[in-house]
A and B are shown apart, each in its own frame.
Chain A
Amino acid sequence: MKSLRQHTSLWLSLGVIVVMGAWPIITGNALSRETMFTVLRSVALASSLNILLGYTGYVSFGHVVFFGLGGYVGFYLIAVQGWSLWAALLAGGVAAGLLAYLVGAAILRLRGAYFALATIGINEAVRAFINNFDPFGGPTGMTLNFKIYKLYGGPGAALQLAFYVMIGLTLAVVLLSYWVRTSKFGLGLLAIREDEDAAEVMGVTAPAAKTWAFVLSAVIPGMIGAIFFFKNGTIEPGLAFPLHTSIEMIVMIMLGGQGTVLGPILGAAGYEALRDYLLVSPVFKNIQLAISGILLLIIVLFIPRGAVGWVRQRYAKVRRWLI
């Protein structure tokens, strides 16, 4: 029982995801499966970014670049080179991780807003480059030949498969996020977040730790990109690198509570639920973006720790297990 209580946050997080994933499978409703696919994608992207943003304190405004690059590499390998989905999935993750490793070594030297600006620059540079890169189809992108879905039992079965993969990836992110949060490595990251210079004095090798945090936060978005565009059937630069998706990830993290395992999960689910509601509501449909903006502003101004952070601050007793 002791170990169960010790890991409450982990069980809670995994439980939430399993319930979200199982719901459409049990009911067999294709529409709710599509909705859940989007929600899980957001959960996984937000939890990944949280490793960098929440634990390490570096704000990446262009994190969607890893999603887009992984998507493009995976899509290219499946559509043009005829690789299997599994190999392409791995390749998407490796490509994103490699980009994070190479770029991270350089730009993680920048602090605060300079780092944030550099990540926007990287995203725009990669997007502009792919726009000109003929093997990836340039500005028009690529489309998947529908025959490829036959290998996975036809389009319907392929969609179902993509959903299972997404559940798996989301669970993997949460395990990774929890491991980082509770490991010695993660402790080093938290120290960097509080005071990088002091952390170095205490023996944290900040450059290496930051780079690995960046890589860890990039790999799974790369794989998500690969599965997302496999399911989507087409890819183009505008779909792969939308800057606003990056910022939505940050909003989800802020909503739930940065630097906690559970926060980004609840934040992402809450954000998606809210957006769904606003999009179908006759009153708010047209000004959905403005309402989201007002909510974000209220959170930033008055509840900067997010939901889980607020509970942690308010009730000292839960702090030991609610992370």
Chain B
Amino acid sequence: MDAILRSLIDGLLLGFVYGIAAMGLTLIWGVMNVINLSHGSLISLGMFSLYFLFTGLGIHPYLAVVITAILGLLLGIVIYAIAVHRIINAPHLSTLLATYSVNMIILGIGTAILSTSPYNVPFDLGSIKVATSVVPTTRLIAAIVAMLVAGGLYLFLQYSRLGRYIRAVTDNREAAEIVGIPSAQILAFSFGLGTMLAAISGGLIATFFPFTILAGGAYELKSFVIGVLGGLGNPVGSLFGGLILGAIEGLVPLAMPTTWTPVLEFVLFVLILLVRPTGLFGGSE
């Protein structure tokens, strides 16, 4: 029983961080029907941003997460303007390939400069007791930061003027334009927000796991699974999807070898796509 609880807590804490990575992916999908295949490399960039801010400039990691977030927002807006805006109304293949080409560019330059060897942020806050189990403090803080970010995003989308614009563009871009919402700017900003979430999750992961420039790819695949679990285009659902995935990753190893976890995850992913493409919590399409 103790072991189960410990694994569950481990998994859930990680799940929050997965959740905000997926939130970035699903926000972009919801607003502009684009699946961002550069998501993984943006997560990697978040990791390295934190690494260089901390080891290079000596900035405290959690302040570095804030700076990483701002850089992510700006980078996302740039990516949107260069690679996505021209083809925003083209068939899906175009946007899939355009974002994938951004992925290739980032990974190509990244591998040339950083190689693919693992990096590690030398930062440790010891351990802390949660319920009956002991977890590294960095993980607990990461989960709390992720919760705050998710809550902040929800409030932002729900109550701020800009957030309401984003929801209007999500619902109906033409109608939003008719009532005077500058949709191009809103789309660019939404892409920036999605990128920002990817960068934050990367930064948080870097505080407790070692990483390479290619590490983001695995989290991108997790984000797909979570996005589909929670409903693509439903940012709040993503947080729950992240928790479900975290719980699966925590609990499955108790019953069978860890290597079976991805099999279960991807079978679940395909099944949910087939049975409920709007996600477990999604409404109608």
Chain A residues in the interface with B (C-beta under 8 A): 53, 57, 59, 61, 106-107, 109-110, 112-114, 116-118, 120-122, 124-125, 128-129, 131-132, 139, 247, 250-251, 254, 286-294, 296-297, 300-301, 304
In angstroms, how far is the closest chain A Cβ from the Cβ of B208? 24
Encode contact with A along B244-271: 1 for CB under 8 Å, 0 otherwise.
Answer: 0000000000000101101101110110
Given A61-B96, A125-B270, A301-B98, A132:B257 Cβ within 8 A: yes
* Nearest CB in chain B to that of A301: its residue: B86
A300–B35 CB distance below 8 A: no
- Known contacts A59-B93, A139-B259; can you find 19 more A-B pairs with CB under 8 A? A107-B273, A116-B92, A117-B35, A117-B224, A118-B274, A121-B273, A124-B266, A125-B263, A131-B262, A131-B263, A250-B97, A290-B108, A293-B102, A293-B105, A296-B97, A296-B101, A296-B104, A297-B83, A301-B86
B259–A132 CB distance below 8 A: yes
B259–A128 CB distance below 8 A: yes
Bound-state CA distance A251–B94 (Å) is 11
Chain B residues in the interface with A (C-beta under 8 A): 29, 33, 35, 82-83, 86-87, 90-94, 96-98, 100-109, 111-112, 221, 224-225, 228, 257, 259-260, 262-263, 265-267, 269-270, 273-274, 277
* Nearest CB in chain B to that of A302: its residue: B86
Q: List 9 interface pairs A-B (beta carbons < 8 Å), by A numbering.
A: A112-B92, A113-B96, A117-B273, A118-B274, A254-B97, A292-B104, A293-B104, A296-B97, A297-B98
In angstroms, how far is the closest chain B Cβ from the Cβ of A238? 12
In angstroms, how far is the closest chain B Cβ from the Cβ of A133? 10
In angstroms, how far is the closest chain B Cβ from the Cβ of A254? 6
Residues of chain A lying within 8 A (CB to CB) of residue B277: 110, 114
Bound-state CA distance A250–B35 (Å) is 16
Residues of chain B lying within 8 A (CB to CB) of residue A124: 221, 262, 266
Given A132-B257, A301-B86, A293:B266 Cβ within 8 A: no
In angstroms, how far is the closest chain A Cβ from the Cβ of B191? 15
Residues of chain B lying within 8 A (CB to CB) of residue A290: 104-109, 112
Bound-state CA distance A114–B228 (Å) is 9
B273–A291 CB distance below 8 A: no
* Nearest CB in chain B to that of A244: its residue: B104
Residues of chain A lying within 8 A (CB to CB) of residue B108: 287-293
Residues of chain A lying within 8 A (CB to CB) of residue B83: 297, 301
Given A113-B92, A124-B262, A129-B263, A289:B104 Cβ within 8 A: yes
